[in-house]
Each structure stands twice: as C-alpha cells, then as structure tokens.
Amino acid sequence: MAQTGTASLTIAELREFASFGAAEQRYIKRSLDIGLGRQDAFKLWARDAGEQAAIRSQYVVYQDLKGLRGKLPSDTGFDGLDAFMGPLLRVTAFDLAQERLGGFGAYRFLYERLLGAGFRPWLPSAFCAVAALPQIRPERRRVLLQSLSEAAATAPGWSNRAPSFYPEWVEKEAA
C-alpha cells in the first residue's frame, strides 16, 4: 500500500511539472543541475553568450544554497531568522528576476528540490517578500503575487515528504 501512495505522489509531481510552460521546465532543470551539482550547466544549457553569463551568475548566487541546507530556524521563535532569510531572499530574488518562473507553483517545485521538504513552510514568505520588491516590474509583481493562493499563504501545516521526481536533461534522439 505504501508503494501505491508513493507512486501516485510521484505521478502527481510529474503532472505538476508537465503543467509548467516549456521555458519554466527548462529553467527548473537547469537550476537543479546548477544547485545540486548534477551536470555542467554550461555544456547542457548555454545556447548563447547571454545564457552563459546568466548561468555563471546563477552558479555564484546558488553558493548560498549550501549554507541554507540543514539550517532551518525554529518555527516558534525568531532567533537566527535574519541569517536564514537573508540568503533565501537573495537566491529567490535572483530566480524571480530571471522571469523564467511564472508563479509560486514553479518556484515551490524548484525550491523543494533545491533545499528539501523542510523548507516548504518558509517558501511562501520568501516568495512574497521578493515578489513585492520594487526591483520587480509592477506588472510582473502583480502576476507573481496573484499566483500565490490563499491556501498556500495560510497553510496550517506542510508535508515533510521529500520530493521524488527530479526532472533532468533528456538528450534528443537523431531522426
């Protein structure tokens, strides 16, 4: 019975990923390669000098992820909050400023995999804080903030189940 539940959750993750646009899917896979050290993102993802520069910047910004993993602050107090939220907001700001993630769903999908299930309760606040920054274009701010459902913003609890589907680069076959 447990395998059936795990399989259906994996299928739900596959469906969720399939619901994202092609550019979102590409950005998520590239970001996972960079953030998890899976592949050489320059070889796989850089189609031009602009993407090469963006990937270089992403490698630099994603260094903050190493310090975040395993360092969740207490959810009952405020000790250590600034040392935690500062890097999380910095990385989130980078990703949202790239304008490749269309909303909270894609952001949450990516960050659950980059950081782990324990970070789920912190993602709505980081997303909202960055989406409301004046550096984000006003029309983009509106789209981002409207993408966060009331249910996600006010959830009384979060699953601690680790994601099971991590999308990767798939080599195209020659015709």
Q: How many CB atoms lie within 10 A of CB 68?
A: 21
Which residue, among 57, 70, 62, 4, has the nearest Cα to 33 in the 3D structure? 62
Structure-token pair, residue 118: 């324990």
**Phi, psi at residue 63, to the nearest 5°?**
-60, -30
pTM here is 0.91
- pLDDT of the chain, 175 residues: tens digit per residue: 445 567 788 899 999 999 999 999 999 999 999 999 999 999 999 999 999 999 999 999 999 999 999 788 877 778 878 889 999 999 999 999 999 999 999 999 999 999 999 999 999 999 999 999 999 999 999 999 999 999 888 888 888 899 999 999 877 665 4
Domain map (residue ranges) of the chain: 2-153
Q: Can you tell me the distance from the alpha carbon of 20 to that of 27, in angstroms, rounded to the nearest whole number?
A: 11
